[in-house]
Chain A
């Protein structure tokens, strides 16, 4: 069965500093990987996704993530954090693209941004 681990429950960074949120997955085949962001009172918004090809994927809001098969990781990065990035971030893994198989989510990492 698939599983997703986000080892950091809460991270605090200074505005303008770089950010890396960790995500490790457990799945036998090549997974489909996603990062979602949930701002307070909002739904889940897709930041980026990895299906195949280039292992470094670019997303919205200046985020990027790198798929590393050898480490079973899909860490999210941003070179310079803005105060508006404060939110909950969820990593998710999908088994296939049929649309029938649900996403499995990690527990989330809450990002706080300080001045």
Chain B
């Protein structure tokens, strides 16, 4: 069964460093998303991406964040200068199109120290 895969599963980084979280969506999907879940809190939407551009983003997704689909298969989330409060589980998701469910990856746990 096709699935969304995320790497790494856990990343530890120093405050101020740049991190790139990687996702491989399901191959025929057209819509891509990043969500995050701070420990003990709810899953929050960050950004959606369609047709090689951001279609919607939340207020969390400030200038420190960027997304890219560099090669037609990967979908990356970059945090330019990490802060302690960026520590969270980051989930990538993809969906085939209108009216279909989003499939989530297993998440990347980011710890900023």
Contact = CB atoms under 8 A, between A and B. Distances in A.
The reply to whether chain A is a binding partner of chain B is yes
Interface of A: 34, 36, 41-46, 49, 51, 90, 92, 97-108
B106 A101 contact: no
Secondary structure call for the B interface: strand
A108 to B, nearest CB: 6
B108 to A, nearest CB: 10
Given A100-B31, A100-B48, A100-B50, A90 B42 contact: yes
Contacts of A41: 106
Contact of A49 (B31, B45, B101): B101
Interface of B: 4, 6, 30-31, 33, 35, 41-45, 48, 50, 55-56, 58, 91, 93, 95, 97-107
B95 A99 contact: yes
Given A102-B56, A107-B41, A43 B104 contact: yes
Contacts of B99: 51, 97, 99
Choose among A100, A101, A102, A103 the residue with the greatest number of B CB atoms under 10 Å from its CB: A102
Contacts of B30: 99
